[in-house]
A and B are shown apart, each in its own frame.
Chain A
Amino acid sequence: MTKSELIERLAERFPQLVAKDAEFAVKMILDAMSGALSSGDRIEIRGFGSFALSYRPPRMGRNPKSGEKVRVPEKYVPHFKAGKELRERVDQLLP
């Protein structure tokens, strides 16, 4: 499922709204989620999961082409942990 398919489905679920509203809503939600993580905040969606940042300490890496040692600076990476409901619902499908 892509973003545009998600927008279509939501537009179908909310026939009283104009289609643009579903599109705008999806963009607003995703922007707010990206914005929260980018400002160091967590996201907690009950029944779905949580997004948090994981810290990656600085390390010495190597330029794979030249073999030269380079210092890779510390950074944060987004991490998603599925909530109980999502975890259970997805797991049921296994043959």
Chain B
Amino acid sequence: MTLTKAELADLLFEKVGLNKREAKDMVEAFFDEIRAALEAGNTVKLSGFGIFQLRDKPQRPGRNPKTGEEIPITARRVVTFHASQKLKAAVEQLGPPAIEE
């Protein structure tokens, strides 16, 4: 099973009582606001869930794995996510059979 925006919207429709349109828009707006904050260079802290942070990576040497040719990997800014203690603890309890690869 995979959780997607459609399931989240259904949940807001059923549990929060938003209409279908609002539920869909709310889910879209939720991720849009997080994206906008990150795009503006801000950290996003969602207590109980985790933190989205930005990291600036310097240029580093890379290689085309097919040709073996050396190409520099350009400097970039990337998003990293750190799960909260609460989420980590909840996930750690999973036994191996809980996941089918």
A residues within 8 Å of B by Cβ? 1-3, 6, 9-10, 13-14, 16-17, 21-22, 24-26, 28-30, 32-34, 36-49, 51, 53, 55, 74-80, 82, 85-87, 89-94
User: Could you mark each residue 12-32 of chain B with 1 if its beta carbon is under 8 Å from any beta carbon of chain A, else 0?
Assistant: 100111100010011101110
Q: How far is the CA of A25 from the CA of B15 in the complex (A)?
A: 9
- Interface band, chain B: 35 or more
B residues within 8 Å of A by Cβ? 1-5, 7-8, 11-12, 15-18, 22, 25-27, 29-31, 33-35, 37-50, 52, 54, 56, 75-81, 83, 86-88, 90-94, 96, 98-99
- With A17-B22, A21-B16, A40-B98 as given contacts, are A76 and B37 in contact (CB-CB < 8 Å)? no
Check B49–A10 contact: CB distance below 8 A.
no
**Chain B residue, CB-CB nearest to A78:** B83
Minimum CB–CB distance from A64 to chain B (whole Å) comes to 19
**Chain B residue, CB-CB nearest to A16:** B22
Residues of B within 8 A of A79 (CB): 81
Residues of A within 8 A of B94 (CB): 38-40, 53, 75-76
**Chain B residue, CB-CB nearest to A37:** B91
Check A78–B35 contact: CB distance below 8 A.
no
Check B99–A86 contact: CB distance below 8 A.
no
Minimum CB–CB distance from A23 to chain B (whole Å) comes to 10
Check B3–A94 contact: CB distance below 8 A.
no
Residue of B17, B30, B39, B86 touching A89 (CB-CB under 8 A): B39
Q: What 16 new A-B contacts, CB under 8 Å, besides A22-B26, A30-B46, A80-B79?
A: A1-B33, A10-B33, A28-B8, A29-B11, A32-B11, A37-B91, A39-B94, A39-B98, A40-B94, A41-B1, A55-B99, A77-B83, A78-B88, A80-B50, A89-B35, A92-B39
Q: How far is the CA of A48 from the CA of B30 in the complex (A)?
A: 11
- With A1-B45, A39-B98 as given contacts, are A10 and B87 in contact (CB-CB < 8 Å)? no
